[in-house]
Amino acid sequence: MDDLGRPLAGAGTIVDTDVVRSPASFISSTTKMHISWETFEKCIVQLQSLSDELNDNWVLHKTGNQEEFTTFLTKKQALSSDCLENASPIFIEYHVVYSIPYGAPILCMNSWRSNGTLLTMEELWKNFNFTENENMYSTLTQMDHAVLQRPFLTLHPCRTAELLEHMFLNSKNIIVSWLSAVGPIVRLDLDINYMKLT
């Protein structure tokens, strides 16, 4: 026992009975609002199914040996870019992925010009009409994709966890509700028909 009456677990390690013991409890102890992997997967499968009916081009990916946390959605779209020097169209591929540490969905993206060169984060900020301030780096940042483990520009998951905390408690499909709120920030608009999932 230590000075506070807690048991020691070998080599001076303190074991506190209030310490969370499972990854799911760890998530709930670090964020006020989270969604489970099962809820995330159910919601993206529903979104993709409706996307097929609407011909809206969301694609469901399951990688590896079908373990948990390897399913995600993608959507590619072309956008006009009046903000960039040559004003040629740009292409964006959006990924909706589950973040284990945040217990929340994250929106990742890569964007490129018609010649195949990637846009920089600064060019995307300009294209998304972000105003220059200290929140730019904590909102849209570069992180490794949770499944593919490659750098992607990402709407920071702590902002997602904050958003989930304040909204969507009664949504039947929290992913559609969340995308309808954050999508316009990065020029990803959802067809109004997705609202029937919420």
Assess whether 158 carries a catalytic annotation.
yes
CA–CA dist 22, 9 (Å, integer): 18
Location of structure tokens 């540490």: 101
Long-range contacts of the stretch 173-179 (C-beta < 8 A, 24+): 173/43, 173/46, 173/47, 173/197, 173/198, 174/35, 174/39, 174/43, 174/105, 175/40, 175/43, 175/44, 175/47, 175/96, 175/105, 176/43, 176/46, 176/47, 178/105, 179/47, 179/96, 179/107
Selecting among 43, 83, 108, 158, the annotated active-site residue is: 158
Contacts of 71 (CB under 8 A, 6+ apart): 41, 44, 60, 61, 62, 63, 98
Active centre residues (catalytic): 158
